[in-house]
Structure 1
Amino acid sequence: MPVSYRNPVHDAYFADPFVLRTQGRFVAYGTGRHVEGRAFEVLESDDLVTWRSAGGALVPVEGLGSDYWAPEVCEADGRWWMYYSVGEGDAGHHLRVAVADDPLGPFVDRGVDLTPHERFAIDPSPFRDRDGTWYLFHARDVLEGDRVGTMLAVDVLDGMDRLRGEPRTVLTPSDDWQLFLRGREMYGRTYDWHTLEGPAVVEREGRYWCFYSGGSWQEPSYGVGVAVADHPLGPWTEPRRAPILRTVPGHVVGPGHNSITTTPDGRDVMAYHAWDPDGTARRMCIDPLAWTAEGPRVLGPTWEPAEL
Structure 2
Amino acid sequence: MTSTDSLQPTAPAGTETWGARHAHDPTVVRDDDGTYYMFSTDSVANSRDIPAGVHVRTSPDLLEWTYRGTALDGVPAPAFEWSGANGLWAPEVVRWPAAAGEARWHLYYSASTFGSSTSAIGLAVADSPAGPWTDRGLVVRTLAGRDLQNAIDAAVTFDRHGDPWLTYGSFFGGIHTLRLDAVTGFALHDGDLGTCIARRHADVDRAVEGAFLQYREADDQYVLFISYDSLFSTYNVRVAVADEITGPYRDANGTHLTDLDAAPHTAGTKVLGSYRFDGDTAWLAPGHNSILTVPAPGAGTAEDQFMVHHVRFAEDPSEHMVQLRRVFTTAGGWPVVSPQPYAGPERETLGRQEGIGGTWRVLRFAPESTEPVEALPVTVHDDGGVSSSGEPRRVRLTIAGSGLDAQLDAVVFGSWDWSRGRAALSFSGIDQHGVVYSGTQGA
The question of a shared fold, defined as TM-score above 0.5 by the shorter chain, is answered with: yes
CA shift at 1:150, angstroms?
4.8
Question: Secondary structure of 1:279's partner?
Answer: strand
Whether the 8 Å CA contact 2:154–2:167 is kept in 1: the answer is yes
Work out the CA distance in 2 between the residues paired with 1:82 and 1:160: 10
What amino acid is the match of 1:85? S
| TM-score, normalised with respect to structure 2 | 0.58
Listed as ranges, the gaps of 5+ residues in structure 2 are: 1-17, 254-266, 297-302, 342-417, 427-443
Work out the CA distance in 2 between the residues paired with 1:11 and 1:36: 16
The alignment status of 1:32 with 2:55, answered yes or no, reads no
Select 1:245's aligned residue among 264, 272, 277: 272
- Counterpart of 1:98? 124
What amino acid is the match of 2:196? T
Work out the CA distance in 1 between the residues paired with 2:186 and 2:122: 8
The alignment status of 1:61 with 2:76, answered yes or no, reads yes
**Which structure's CA Rg is the greater one?**
2
| TM-score, normalised with respect to structure 1 | 0.81
Listed as ranges, the gaps of 5+ residues in structure 1 are: 1-8, 142-148, 183-191
CA shift at 1:113, angstroms?
4.5
CA shift at 1:75, angstroms?
1.8
- Comparing 267-276 with 61-70, which one deviates more in the overlay? 61-70
Deviations 1:103-159 (A, max 9, x none): 122323212242346452210101112422000001155xxxxxxx45211000023
Question: Secondary structure of 2:131's partner?
Answer: coil
Deviations 1:56-91 (A, max 9, x none): 112322334213110011122132111121022222
Select 1:270's aligned residue among 307, 311, 321: 307
Deviations 1:3-41 (A, max 9, x none): xxxxxx944200011011221222110112599855111
Select 1:19's aligned residue among 28, 42, 45: 28
Whether the 8 Å CA contact 1:36–1:56 is kept in 2: the answer is no
- Counterpart of 2:212? 200
CA shift at 1:291, angstroms?
0.6
Q: 1:38 to 1:194 in 2, by over 3 A?
A: closer
What amino acid is the match of 1:263? V
Deviations 1:184-226 (A, max 9, x none): xxxxxxxx51211111122222111011111112333x20001
The alignment status of 1:234 with 2:247, answered yes or no, reads yes
CA shift at 1:286, angstroms?
1.0
Whether the 8 Å CA contact 2:224–2:241 is kept in 1: the answer is yes
Question: Secondary structure of 2:288's partner?
Answer: strand
What amino acid is the match of 1:283? M
Q: 1:289 to 1:10 in 2, by over 3 A?
A: farther
Matches within 5 A, 1:78-93: 78-91=103-116, 92-93=118-119
What amino acid is the match of 2:290? S
What amino acid is the match of 2:310? H
Whether the 8 Å CA contact 1:83–1:98 is kept in 2: the answer is yes
Whether the 8 Å CA contact 1:36–1:55 is kept in 2: the answer is no
- Counterpart of 1:296? 335
- Comparing 29-38 with 39-48, which one deviates more in the overlay? 29-38
- Counterpart of 1:171? 198
- Counterpart of 1:261? 292
CA shift at 1:166, angstroms?
5.4
Name the count of aligned residue pairs: 277
- Root mean square deviation of aligned Cα: 2.6
Q: 1:37 to 1:131 in 2, by over 3 A?
A: same
Work out the CA distance in 2 between the residues paired with 1:281 and 1:106: 30
Select 2:134's aligned residue among 94, 108, 133: 108
Q: 1:36 to 1:227 in 2, by over 3 A?
A: same
- Ranked by relative contact order (alpha carbons within 8 Å, sequence separation 6 or more), the top structure is 1
Select 1:223's aligned residue among 236, 257, 262: 236
Work out the CA distance in 1 between the residues paired with 2:68 and 2:114: 27
The alignment status of 1:279 with 2:294, answered yes or no, reads no
* Percent identity of paired positions between Structure 1 and Structure 2: 28
What amino acid is the match of 1:161? F
Whether the 8 Å CA contact 1:38–1:56 is kept in 2: the answer is yes
Question: Secondary structure of 1:90's partner?
Answer: coil
Work out the CA distance in 1 between the residues paired with 2:422 and 2:31: 25
